Homo-oligomer: A and B are copies of this chain.
Amino acid sequence: ATADSGIPAAGAEVAFQFLHSELVSFLLREQLQGGGGGPATVQQCRAQLSKLETMGFRVGQAYVEKMTKDLPRFRDDLEIVKFLCKDFWASLFKKQVDNLKTNHQGVYVVIDEKFSLLVPMARGKQYLDRCHLYTAFPCGLIRGALTNLGLRAIVTAEVEELPRVKFQIQLVQHSA
C-alpha cells in the first residue's frame, strides 16, 4: 500500500492528531449520552466547546513556552503571528500555513488547506454538523500560544470542507 492519505509517516504528530480526534469523539459521546440521544442543545454544545477550548489553550501555552524559552523576544505583533504560522505550525502540524492575511489593524486570517488535526476526521462526515467540536481545541491552541507570547486574541475558525480551515485571529489591544 502506498501512502495516499497525505498524512506524513507515523510520528508523534500523528499520535497527537489521533488523540485530539479521540478527545472530540469522547466529548461527543458524553454529549449524546447526557442528551438522551436527541440533538444537542445550545448549552450542551457550549459546554463541550468550552472544555475543548480550555484544553487547547493550556496545551498551546505550555507548548509555546517550551518552544520559545531560548529564543530572543519578538519585536512586534506581526513577528509573533509569523512565528505562529511558520515555526509553531511546522513543529506541531509538519507544515506551514498556506496563507496569511492581515488588515494591519489587528486582524489576521490564517488558512490551512489541509489542517492536520482535522485529517483523521475528514473521513467521518458525521462530525461536520456537530457544533464545531473539531475546531474548538485548535482555536484554544492558537489562543494559548499567542497569550504566552504576550498577545491577547479572539480566535475563531470556519470550516467549509474538511480538512480546510480558515482561522481568524483578532488581537485585543492591551489597555495599558
- A positions within 8 Å CB-CB of B: 1, 3, 7, 10-16, 18-20, 22-23, 25-26, 51, 55, 58-59, 62-63, 66-67, 69-70, 91-92, 94, 120
Contact = CB atoms under 8 A, between A and B. Distances in A.
Contact of A59 (B3, B13, B19, B94): B19
Contact of A91 (B10, B51, B58, B120): B10
Nearest to A63: B15
Contacts of A62: 18, 120
- Which label, helix, strand, loop or mixed, suits the secondary structure of the A interface? helix
A139 to B, nearest CB: 15
Contact of A15 (B10, B16, B25): B16
Contacts of A20: 19
A22 B20 CA distance: 11
A142 to B, nearest CB: 13
B12 A58 contact: no
A21 B26 CA distance: 16
Contact of A22 (B12, B26, B58, B92): B58
B19 A70 contact: no
Given A1-B69, A51-B26, A12 B18 contact: no
A10 B55 contact: no
Contacts of A91: 10-12
B92 A18 contact: no
Contacts of A51: 26
Contacts of A22: 55, 58-59
